[in-house]
Amino acid sequence: MRIVFTLFLSFVFLSSSAQVRKVVIKTFPSGQPEVIYHLKGKEMNAEKIKEEVYYENGKLEYTGEFKNGTEHGEWVYYYPSGNIKAKEYWKNGVEHGTWKEYHPDGQLAREIVYKDGKIVDTVVKKRQ
């Protein structure tokens, strides 16, 4: 019985420490959220795994992922209209992969290819 109880407590502890919670870090004077962090873990040991920043109109300005406190994964930026402005990819805090920039109308403007923080190719797209 003691082993079952210990296993149950271990499961509860591990489950609760792995929960992700959203925390509003900053608000506009209207009370609308401006910056939201997604945190994993408990209290002082919580790790920021995602960040969302909003325009005052409530639309998303950008969102990005973190790993071990640095940029990691996809970051997406938006125009106030809601159209995608840019997509970036990070690997352990360093630019990596194909970044794309868009015109306000949604047309692809430019692609920049990074490998381990260095630009290896840039392609400017013609407007159609």
Confirm if 67 and 49 have CB atoms less than 8 A apart: yes
Checking if the pLDDT of 15 tops 60, the result is no
The percentage of residues in the chain with a pLDDT greater than 90, rounded to a whole number, is 79
Fold that domain 20-124 belongs to in CATH = 2.20.110
How far apart CA 126 and CA 105 sit, in angstroms, is: 14
Q: Which residues share a beta bridge with 128?
A: none
Give tens-digit pLDDT for 46-84: 999 999 999 999 999 999 999 999 999 999 999 999 999
Q: What is the pLDDT of residue 126?
A: 84
Cα–Cα dist 104/43, whole Å = 40
Q: What is the pLDDT of residues 101-128, one digit of tens each?
A: 999 999 999 999 999 999 999 999 888 7
Report the alpha-carbon distance of residue 25 to residue 8 in Å, rounded: 34
Distance CA(36)–CA(62), nearest Å, equals 11
For the entire predicted model, the pTM comes to 0.82
**Domain limits, the chain:** 20-124
Rg (Cα) of the chain, in Å, rounded?
20
Taking a C-beta distance cutoff of 8 angstroms, is the pair 98, 111 a contact?
A: yes
DSSP assignment letter at 43? G
